[in-house]
Chains A and B, each alone.
Chain A
């Protein structure tokens, strides 16, 4: 009965590779997010989708491409991975009503070597 799930939890890959992280929520929320937590534990939003439409696209390299096939899924594809992409990536979801809390997935630790 996991609310927000992400796969994989750990990802180790080499520079230049392309990888994807998948996210699914079973909470019936209409909005999903991708956050990046860097090595200093700072959390910053990358993307947000509402009903499959992109509503936030922060200053993120275009090597990062989110895709939302339906309201319950938001995947993150990263092309040409770089050392600086190493981080923990969190998926989250919420209802976009006023002030609703966001529920986070367990995170994916990406290590680029």
Chain B
């Protein structure tokens, strides 16, 4: 069964600095997708970034980028030029490529504090 692990329950970063959130996953398959979702205090779940396992190129979305290491089964999120609005809980998630159910497996989450 797939599992997703986020080993950092809490992280903090100074405004305008860079922070990296860690995520590892376990799967026996080679075809899958990985996601980072953000949950601010409003509790709305917002997609931050998506990575397709068959693509070697790391996904980027403005200040957000990932370091996808397929062999190591690692999928970290880098936030550059951190802003106060980045303060939230961040969830890493895995989806099987062959999934016909859309079942997302989430990690435990990392709470990010941004200090002014």
Minimum-distance CB pairs A-B, first 5: A104-B45, A99-B33, A43-B106, A56-B101, A101-B47
Query: In the bound complex, what is the Cα–Cα distance between A92 and B93 (angstroms)?
Result: 14
- Inter-subunit contact B45/A41 (CB<8 Å): no
What residues make up the interface of A, taking CB atoms closer than 8 Å to B?
Answer: 31, 33, 40-45, 48, 50, 55-56, 88, 90, 92, 94, 96, 98-104, 106-107, 109
Residue of A nearest to B34 (CB): A99
Residue of B nearest to A58 (CB): B103
Of A43, A88, A96, A106, the residue contacting B102 (CB under 8 A) is A96
Give chain B's interface secondary structure class: strand
Complex Cα spacing A41 to B107, Å = 10
Contact A98 B45 (CB under 8 A): no
Closest-by-CB residue of B relative to A99 is B33
Distance in angstroms from A66 CB to nearest chain B CB is 14
Q: List 11 A-B contacts (CB under 8 A).
A: A33-B102, A41-B39, A42-B109, A48-B101, A48-B102, A55-B100, A56-B102, A99-B50, A100-B102, A104-B45, A106-B43
Residues of A within 8 A of B101 (CB): 48, 50, 55-56, 96
A107 touches B102 (CB 8 A): no
Residues of B within 8 A of A (CB): 33, 35, 37, 39, 42-47, 50, 52, 89, 91, 95, 97, 100-104, 106, 108-109
Closest residue of B by beta carbon distance from A92: B45
A48-B102, A100-B102 known; 18 new pairs, CB 8 Å cut-off, are A40-B108, A42-B108, A43-B109, A45-B103, A48-B101, A55-B100, A56-B101, A96-B100, A96-B102, A99-B52, A99-B95, A99-B97, A101-B35, A101-B47, A102-B102, A104-B45, A106-B42, A109-B43
Give complex CA distance A100, B52 in Å: 10
- What's the Cα separation between A90 and B106 when bound, in Å? 14
Residues of A within 8 A of B106 (CB): 42-44
Cα A13 to Cα B103 in complex, Å, equals 30
**Which residue on chain B has the smallest CB distance to residue A31?**
B102
A90 to B104, CA, bound (A): 13
Complex alpha-carbon distance, A103 and B46, angstroms: 8
Contacts of B46 in A (CB 8 A): 104
